């Protein structure tokens, strides 16, 4: 099949990660290699901006800024949670594509999610960095807790994770090999309904053995009836419940039931997914590769596919990119395998560790200026609009 | 005066910082240089352990572990918030000193505090690292917020700081020079009583100009009557109110008063003071120097003094150690100067920036193993007890 000659459009969608911009950098870097690609445009704020014909010229950005995207958190093009619904929306998108000769469209909502819950792909870009940050924070909090505790300190760190425990589970990487008593002492996953009496017993047992009990709790922890431990009545645009507060809720339960105990709750919130200063090099590199692979696949005529990460079948970790039909991905969810959780329900076994450990390897050396990391700032030169305005 | 010949005892007290262990490393390193020092002991859990004659042999720790202390957060010897009260307590301490021929005693509660509120010293070891972490987090959260906001996002980061705004103020270092509109857009300090209507107006103004409004709020924020914005009835051993929740309280106020706005609150809590992976090299080096200087001063016969940090009177930042009488330090508090806060009450001026910027310079390259930082783990070889047990 002959290569399509024309322009590229890239957009970003959904929640940012530490490495979603690395995929944009991969797309731009690869696109420059292909003569069939003329202009490289970015759509501002995902489909929201594309509907409004808000395009920027990515090819006119400096090499320096595109390179800086490889270590910049957030979503440099802006993102949205807008859901295309109306028939007119779809037609408008095609009109924008036609008006700007867009032959290749990459929408980076897929594959990237700190939640790591996409099917088919071995793991998702963004996941490795968030659990590296969390495992590092657990190790550091443990140094602090160890100094402060006298068998009376319960330290709670709330991890992101609405419906799956992938992120909270990743905190297990803070343990040294063959040191099962290392913190985190207790991991509370949405997959395991909260059993108050059992968990209080677990905490008391840890406090008998250690100076402190460090707990990592997923924000989406639910009770036996499926109710969130701490839910807010509000819901977001997709009808998902807005969460937050599982750590505080657990803290209150502990204080009310274990006399004399001190409770400390940390809720890093979105600092977790933005902590590029603690990103995993493996993760960032794979996100970049995914962007490059997407361009090559599109030019080869592939469409309606997602780039997947495929783990090599070798002892030493290797990872290549693959392709899977979007229809296969769209509504599937990859659950944290039950058999990767120990029988105690609050710790992860070697199968999980073998899976997750390679994903957090390597550190990134950031550029610093006057003591703080320097992140990319795009010029965002606007592409001239040629269509009439569009009513959302 | 002839040098005293005998043993050193070092203990740690109060809340840990990222660099309090660097001071222990400085003491051990310097003590090894002086033949008048025979044994180097550590007291476990501050005066609590010393009262109970719980001493460990620091000289028998490996060089590797002592070196690792320079980048290890927490307080490796353990700490306490125990207040010596009874006459017997003081006598017991002296008995322990006599029994183990302790001629030099260093208690690292002073100088170190992330709160930066000690008088006489220019700044306190630990402060530079906590504000470097906070400024980095603000810059990263800003990347995330910028992507997600549509003029409707209020992002709140709660900073430590019970009674002074030194830490929250440090978030101002996230701004680039000559970019007053950079985040953090609003800093709420305990020094400025919370004025709800004025702050809501400030937030509305920022949201008209920017896609999001990033606020850093000190945990100790108070209203015009001096009441904490969010106080917990409980108090700690010193009678201080236990805080936490100023961010959530502010978030609720914003949601209730600005329709359609989304609020996100991050409360990194003690992760701030434990984030050695984001420590400032300047801070860590100064903490080490303070430890060394303490040993030299003690051998020279100085007593009842604190090591201070003295800023050079030059254009380029320099810092030397000095000495000040403990009596002068003990009950003084260094307030954040009112004239370093801009007239808008929610941002810091160049005088603050000139003060704080040198303190966060430099990064530390940590050793990593399987993707997470490796911190010191002391052997803690116990020194034989020779005294009868002591009732606390």
Select from A135, A174, A267 the Cβ nearest to the Cβ of B267. Answer: A267
pLDDT at A1: 61
Instruction: Express each pLDDT in A12-54 by its tens digit.
Output: 998 899 999 999 999 999 999 999 999 999 999 999 999 999 9
- Distances in Å between the Cα of A209 and the Cα atoms of A147, A150, A175, A182 are 15, 11, 16, 11
CA angle A264/A270/A273 to nearest 5° reads 115
**A113 pLDDT higher than 90:** no
Nearest CA distance, A328 vs chain B (angstrom): 28
The alpha helices in chain B, defined as continuous H runs, are 20-31, 46-51, 63-69, 87-99, 127-148, 166-170, 196-209, 246-257, 271-274, 281-299, 326-330, 350-356
pLDDT band at B192 (very low <50, low <70, confident <90, very high): very high
| A325-339, A347-361, B182-196, B246-260: least confidently modelled range | A325-339
Whether B264 sits inside 8 A of A280 (CB atoms) is: no
Query: Is the minimum CB–CB distance between A184 and chain B shorter than 8 Å?
Result: no
Q: Which of B87, B2, B84, B14 is nearest to B50 (CA)?
A: B84
Length of chain B in terms of residues written: 392
Length of chain A in terms of residues written: 392
Query: Is the minimum CB–CB distance between A73 and chain B shorter than 8 Å?
Result: yes
Buried residues in B120-144 as b, exposed as e (16+ CB within 10 A): bbbbbbbbbbbbbbbbbbbbbbbbb
**B357 pLDDT higher than 60:** yes
Mean of pLDDT values over B17-34: 96
Q: Count how many Cα atoms sit within 13 Å of the Cα of residue B299 in the half-sphere of its side chain.
A: 20
- Distances in Å between the Cα of A204 and the Cα atoms of A143, A180, A257 are 20, 17, 10
Whether B148 sits inside 8 A of A12 (CB atoms) is: no
Peptide bond into A184 cis (omega under 30): yes
pLDDT at B245: 86
Q: What percent of chain A has pLDDT over 90?
A: 84
| List A115, A117, A122, A202, catalytic entry | A115
- Residue that has been written with the tokens 């190790």 in this structure: A139
Instruction: Express each pLDDT in A239-291 by its tens digit.
Output: 444 445 899 999 999 999 999 999 999 999 999 999 999 999 999 999 999 99
The CA distance from A8 to A298, in Å, is: 10
Mean of pLDDT values over A206-229: 94
- Distances in Å between the Cα of B5 and the Cα atoms of A266, B10, B35, B102, B386 are 46, 16, 8, 9, 20
- H/E stretch holding B325 reads strand B319-325
For the sheet with A55-57, list strands across it: A55-57, A37-43, A6-12, A102-111
Q: Which of A44, A39, A73, A74 is nearest to A56 (CA)?
A: A44
**Which chain A residue's Cα is nearest to B365?**
A365
- The burial class, CB within 10 Å (0-12 / 13-18 / 19+), for A225 is exposed
Query: Is the minimum CB–CB distance between A79 and chain B shorter than 8 Å?
Result: yes
Interface test with B, best of A132, A135, A248, A271 (most B CBs within 10 A): A271
pLDDT at B235: 45
Nearest CA distance, A137 vs chain B (angstrom): 7
The CA distance from B278 to B267, in Å, is: 17
Mean of pLDDT values over A312-327: 94
pLDDT band at A235 (very low <50, low <70, confident <90, very high): very low
Mean of pLDDT values over B140-161: 96
Q: Using N-to-C axis directions, what is the helix angle for B127-148 and B281-299, rounded to 10°?
A: 170
The CA distance from B28 to B9, in Å, is: 10
**B210 pLDDT higher than 50:** yes
Query: Is the minimum CB–CB distance between B175 and chain A shorter than 8 Å?
Result: no
Residue B23: both structure tokens together: 């001071």
* Residues near B244 by beta carbon (within 8 Å), at least 6 away in sequence: A265, B158, B219, B230, B232, B267, B269
Instruction: Express each pLDDT in B103-123 by its tens digit.
Output: 999 998 766 788 998 889 999
**B330 pLDDT higher than 90:** no
pLDDT band at B236 (very low <50, low <70, confident <90, very high): very low
**A238 pLDDT higher than 70:** no
Peptide bond into A250 cis (omega under 30): no
pLDDT at A110: 64
Residues 348-377 of B with CB under 8 A from A: 357, 360-363, 368, 370-373, 375
pLDDT band at A232 (very low <50, low <70, confident <90, very high): very low
**B234 pLDDT higher than 60:** no
Query: Is the minimum CB–CB distance between B114 and chain A shorter than 8 Å?
Result: no
Question: Pairing mode, if any, of strands A241-243 and A231-235?
Answer: antiparallel
pLDDT at B1: 61
pLDDT band at B244 (very low <50, low <70, confident <90, very high): low
Interface test with B, best of A54, A159, A233, A274 (most B CBs within 10 A): A274
pLDDT at A241: 47
Select from A140, A268, A274 the Cβ nearest to the Cβ of B73. Answer: A140
Cβ-contact A272, A160 below 8 angstroms: yes
Q: Using N-to-C axis directions, what is the helix angle for A281-299 and A127-148, rounded to 10°?
A: 170
- Judge if ipTM > 0.90: yes
The CA distance from A321 to A289, in Å, is: 8
Sort out which chain B residues have CB atoms less than 8 A from A150's CB and list them.
45, 48, 80
Which pTM was predicted?
Answer: 0.95
A115 is catalytic: yes
Q: Which of A364, A317, A355, A375 is nearest to A124 (CA)?
A: A355
Bigger pLDDT: B333 vs B295? B295
Whether A273 sits inside 8 A of B72 (CB atoms) is: no
Q: Which of B12, B158, B27, B231 is nearest to A144 (CA)?
A: B12
DSSP string of A148-216?
A: H-SS-EEEEEEEP-SS--HHHHHGGGGSPTT-TTSSP-EEE-TTS-B-HHHHHHHHHHHHHHSSEEEEE
DSSP string of A63-98?
A: HHHHHHHTT--B-TT--------SHHHHHHHHHHHH
pLDDT at B233: 38
Sort out which chain A residues have CB atoms less than 8 A from B48's CB and list them.
150
| A51-65, A232-246, A354-368, B241-255: least confidently modelled range | A232-246
pLDDT at B98: 98
Task: Provide the sign of the torsion angle of the four alpha carbons A23, A27, A29, A30, taken in this order.
Answer: positive
Q: What percent of chain A has pLDDT over 70?
A: 95
pLDDT at B261: 97
């Amino acid at each position: 099949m002959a290569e399509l000659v024309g322009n590229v459009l890239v957009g970003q969608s959904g929640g940012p990660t530490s490495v979603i911009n690395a995929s944009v950098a991969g797309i731009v870097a690869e696109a420059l290699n292909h003569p069939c690609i003329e202009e490289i445009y970015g759509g501002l704020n995902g489909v929201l901006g594309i509907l409004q014909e808000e395009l920027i010229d990515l090819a006119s950005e400096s090499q320096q800024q595109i390179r800086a995207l490889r270590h910049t958190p957030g979503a440099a093009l802006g993102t949205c949670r807008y859901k295309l619904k109306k028939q007119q929306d779809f037609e408008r998108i095609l009109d924008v594509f036609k008006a700007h000769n867009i032959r290749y469209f990459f929408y980076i909502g897929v594959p990237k999610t700190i939640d790591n819950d996409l099917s088919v792909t071995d793991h998702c870009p963004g996941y490795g960095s968030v659990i590296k940050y969390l495992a590092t924070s657990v190790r550091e909090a443990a140094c602090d807790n160890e100094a402060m505790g006298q068998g009376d300190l319960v330290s709670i760190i709330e991890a992101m994770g609405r419906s799956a425990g992938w992120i909270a589970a990743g905190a297990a990487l803070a343990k040294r090999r063959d040191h099962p008593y290392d913190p985190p002492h207790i991991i509370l996953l949405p997959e395991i309904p909260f059993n108050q009496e059992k968990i209080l017993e677990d905490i008391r047992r840890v406090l008998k053995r250690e100076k402190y009990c460090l707990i990592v709790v997923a924000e989406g922890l639910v009770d036996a009836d499926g109710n969130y431990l701490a839910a807010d009545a509000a819901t977001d645009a997709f009808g998902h419940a807005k969460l937050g507060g599982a750590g505080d809720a657990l803290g209150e339960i502990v204080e009310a039931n274990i006399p004399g105990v001190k409770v400390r709750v940390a809720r890093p919130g979105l600092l977790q997914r933005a902590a590029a200063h603690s990103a995993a090099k493996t993760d960032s590199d794979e996100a970049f590769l995914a962007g490059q692979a997407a361009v090559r696949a599109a030019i080869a005529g592939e469409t309606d596919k997602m780039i997947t990460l495929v783990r090599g079948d070798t002892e030493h970790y290797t990872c290549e990119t693959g392709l899977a039909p979007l229809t296969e991905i769209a509504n599937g969810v990859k659950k944290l395998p039950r058999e990767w959780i120990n029988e105690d329900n609050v710790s992860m076994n070697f199968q999980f560790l073998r899976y997750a450990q390679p994903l957090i390897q390597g550190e990134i050396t950031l550029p610093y200026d006057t003591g703080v990391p320097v992140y990319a700032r795009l010029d965002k030169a606007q592409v001239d609009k040629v269509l009439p305005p569009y009513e959302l």
